[in-house]
Amino acid sequence: MRMYDLIMKKRNGSALSDEEIRFMVQGYTKGDIPDYQMSAMMMAVYFRGMDADETLALTMAMAESGDMLDLGEIRGVKVDKHSTGGVGDKTSLALTPMVAAAGVTVAKMSGRGLGHTGGTIDKLESFPGFSTAISEQQFKENVNRIGIAIMGQTADLAPADKKLYALRDVTATVDNMSLIASSIMSKKLAAGADAIVLDVKTGSGAFMKTEEDAFALAREMVRIGNGADRKTIAVVSDMDQPLGCAVGNALEVREAIDTLNGNGPEDFVELCMTLGSYMLVAGGKAATKDDAEAILTEVVRNGSALDKLAEFVEAQGGDRELVYHPERLTQASIAQEIESPADGYIQKIVCDEIGICSLILGGGRETKESEIDLSVGLVLHKKVGDAVRKGDSLATIHANDQARLEAARERFLRAYTIGAEPVKKKPLIKGIVMK
């Protein structure tokens, strides 16, 4: 088999076979196929697309290009959750202890943040001593003992995707549905869970700007998951404004703790309940979404979800007491209000701009090597549709540096549109894709 012939075949619009896709992925991972040939292939795929069989074959070949975690020795159905990422998305912090407290085993791999979106690992590191760099053995032991563990992605998990993603990033071939779906799902399949619940975001703060694209991606990923014998459900949710109120690592941890204490923001609670319910259904703990919601409501009410977070934090090296005393989490030295410049209603918030404000304050990573300040960020007090009077606080900025604070404030005010017309709030959950 020659890579040249495969490039020509795809360029001319034909489908590649399983065997051809495997040859190409294995050859590229080993370094036998050079970047320039793979770049040409990616561009051919970009223009010609891949059908469902090709997309599944590409996903499986990438998943099998490195370690495949075997979670067989862990009891019960293991459920994983993945979000396509957004601003203020601290869902895993509240959701996974809720689900684990309800008796569904959570074995999750998470990543760090890059650019305007945050990552679960960074947020969890707001608990001093907490580490996701645990061994596979420790990961399995924790899941068996307390029903929950979160691990950082190991270097050898889907290495083909790692290499291919870096190539796509510099050859203008990222935004192809088959390539995105196979990239995300290859990592999820290699991570070994039996069931996967996906949160596909749509809107100005998301990768998929339109609902149409978000649903297409959701359908593609569900098809891949089910094709690989993993029960897969996707929730398409709004990311046209930040999720909840807090944006910034330790601030988001606090909001997750508030939520486990029964005091979370409405949209964030709704998302946790929706994703959590499908995790319970996929994990066989509840027959219907309504049954699942009742169970999740109870684990928050009786405090067992909060206790599960404390257990989880302690099992991975953090101080469990901070879960009960979030005021002891790291705090920025300056907290300043941003006042509304006018009366009216919040018409629109350019979501990724709020993520950039957090980045400016030092809460995000511009490059993989950047150090981040866990204490900084913003807490929004007004969201789309809310009425506001001139001088009301739109948000509190938490900063450690006056110049950064000023830059973030200026950018923040440009991200908010205030107008006289009342605005109808849009639903958070856009739909569910199960097959």
Binding footprint of ligand URA on the chain (CB under 6 A): 165, 174, 179-180, 183-184, 207
Smallest distance from ligand URA to CB 427, Å: 25
Q: Judged by CB, which is closer to ligand URA: 148, or 184? A: 184
Smallest distance from ligand URA to CB 165, Å: 6
What whole-number distance in Å separates Cα of residue 232 and Cα of residue 87? 24
Q: Judged by CB, which is closer to ligand URA: 169, or 266? A: 169
Of all residues in the shown chain, the one whose CB is closest to ligand URA is: 183
Classified as helix, coil or strand, 350 is coil
Number of neighbours of residue 369 by Cβ within 10 angstroms: 6
Cα 255 from chain centroid (whole Å): 17
- Which residue among 90, 123, 168, 404 is the active-site one? 168
Q: Judged by CB, which is closer to ligand URA: 91, or 259? A: 91
Percent helix, percent strand, percent coil in the chain, to nearest 5: 45, 15, 35
Place of tokens 């006042």: 339
Q: Judged by CB, which is closer to ligand URA: 63, or 180? A: 180
Q: What residue type is assigned to position 77 of the chain?
A: V
* 187 a catalytic residue: yes
Distances (CA, A) of 83 to 57, 207, 243, 294, 406: 23, 11, 12, 24, 31
Q: Are strands 387-388 and 334-339 parallel, antiparallel or unpaired?
A: unpaired
Q: Judged by CB, which is closer to ligand URA: 184, or 236? A: 184
Smallest distance from ligand URA to CB 434, Å: 22
What whole-number distance in Å separates Cα of residue 323 and Cα of residue 153? 25
Distances (CA, A) of 289 to 40, 271, 286, 292: 46, 13, 7, 5
- Which residue among 80, 161, 258, 352 is the active-site one? 161
The token pair that represents 372 in the structure block: 């981040």
What whole-number distance in Å separates Cα of residue 115 and Cα of residue 124? 18
What kind and span of H or E run contains 432? strand 429-433
- Which residue among 10, 82, 285, 409 is the active-site one? 82
Smallest distance from ligand URA to CB 187, Å: 6
Smallest distance from ligand URA to CB 129, Å: 29
Smallest distance from ligand URA to CB 306, Å: 31
- Which residue among 65, 126, 178, 183 is the active-site one? 183
* 168 a catalytic residue: yes
What whole-number distance in Å separates Cα of residue 219 and Cα of residue 207? 16
The token pair that represents 421 in the structure block: 């017309």
Smallest distance from ligand URA to CB 240, Å: 19
Q: Judged by CB, which is closer to ligand URA: 177, or 334? A: 177
In 200-303, which residue ranges form alpha helices assigned H by DSSP?
A: 211-227, 249-260, 266-282, 289-301
What whole-number distance in Å separates Cα of residue 118 and Cα of residue 355? 8
Cβ-contact 7, 44 below 8 angstroms: yes
Q: Judged by CB, which is closer to ligand URA: 126, or 182? A: 182
Cβ-contact 233, 197 below 8 angstroms: yes
The token pair that represents 376 in the structure block: 């900084």
How are strands ordered across the β-sheet holding 78-83? Answer: 148-152, 105-110, 78-83, 195-202, 231-238, 429-433
Q: How many helices (H) and strands (E) does the chain have?
A: 17, 13
Smallest distance from ligand URA to CB 329, Å: 29
Q: Judged by CB, which is closer to ligand URA: 180, or 196? A: 180
- Which residue among 163, 187, 188, 365 is the active-site one? 187
* 183 a catalytic residue: yes
Give Dmax (Cα) for the chain.
69
Q: Judged by CB, which is closer to ligand URA: 146, or 174? A: 174
List residues with catalytic annotation: 82, 161, 168, 183, 187
